[in-house]
Structure 1
């Protein structure tokens, strides 16, 4: 066989493998889309388990029974998350009256600038624009109402999803390793240990990723929150909490939610304060990406920003906000599995050296 024929055959086999892989991904995507109501709680439970499992391990090392350690960590984690959500909503509701007053004042200033400024608009023209906006709202009221009803109907499934997450989380924290061992038991013995190592490496990298993401989210929330507080922008705590949750979508999440804070600053305090807040958001992003993240993220877990952006874009395209949230953790897990599976076993090295050495 000539060299060209061998290269052609290898190229054909590579294309065939890629085609099989693409078909498998397409089938998997179809299955996941049909089972989204189950897949999302499982993914959420895995992320929370990766965050809380070090606490369970710490208590177990201090001779606390595994069941009691799981219960303590679970109760503390759920209480902290519930308290944060309640505090954010309560603060938002309490700050709405002041925001409404500031909105009225900002509208008055904007109207004065449009009529007395360089644009020279008349009051009749502004009233015409407002009338057009109200007419558009009336024409699309049914669509808006149906969208809101869709959100509420989706929210009706949240209780069942929450119960499923808590149920799965209990078993992931208490019996996660034993469940993984049992799942891989039917595999052939020569591949079993490598698959188990891949799973352990994937969960370890996922734990590191979630832990670092929480720290980075806190840095973003505190930095932007301080900027809001210093500049006198209202709703500091709800906006800081929004930045915290948005930071779980790497690179773009905190930036997008920071723009929401800039918009509130523009509406409530004017363009100068909005410009200052834009600088604060950009400064916090630069400190996060160039100072804090390199100190917190190990080389084994760090992902290239291009890979992160592409993963988030693909996730948004396939599953919206849910896809954006889980894209990077999934990429981290897949990479960890790949790094372990491509390692050569000692017996493979011996066989390779024996095949290439003299007979």
Structure 2
């Protein structure tokens, strides 16, 4: 069906207008985040200097809640953007489904990751918890403002390793090595899974449907599988991402209360500003379809659940964008930007977190 040029022109202008409005909203969000972080940051520095342990414990909880909120905004927002960008469901439906799934994931899956991060890897006192979470919040806030790609898991683990080393705190470097290997293997597995799954569907079923009408009819059959994929991804975020951001508090709280704290933060982010990220991603990724979205999300979700079962934290966002990249290459499109994003976290984010935390460990 041929669409008149004027209609396309008007649609293009509408997309540009929505993008501009969403960017303005995100700019206001970033300014608000800076204000919150500056207030909390100065309060944290004061209490660390004063050695006020009770206040530091409270601040560590607040920073963990802030990081969980950030996961709800950015990680959940990006995932929702893929779902609504493919046209599988409306934003409100996606928010409800993913929100309920995150709560279930936090309740039944996050305990494994919490124990790994806050017990088996390292057990910090109030000072260590506060330092690690402040550095994580600082780097995430700065990179969000500069629109630089970085993954929360790298920052939390890097800061923990750096501070533990210079502060003379017992740290399980063997487990840390295994987690680093998992952070390398998981995006590779997501990429391969996304590529093979979409390529298989394309060659065995999609290519047999020659007309646009037949292809659209076949794509619509993936609406329910797409919802299942969204549920699996949300369960993974509830288990993995929540476990990572609240795991450092394991020394002062049990796994159950920490799961509730993390879930509350993610749901808060999901229901406040995640839709802005979702709309931006949904508009930006204009060539998504139900099959492509399903292939990327189910591949990343299965990889994430596998590592949760093994009690090893990974980066959900990194795995998802790698799976999306695999789907893109199966279609003949190379995602160079995605590769740069992952390399940035490996060679800039992780070392920077280690160095900052190590420096504070020497000073405090």
The TM-score with structure 1 as length reference comes to 0.26
The TM-score with structure 2 as length reference comes to 0.25
Q: Which has the higher contact order (CA 8 A, sep 6+)?
A: 2
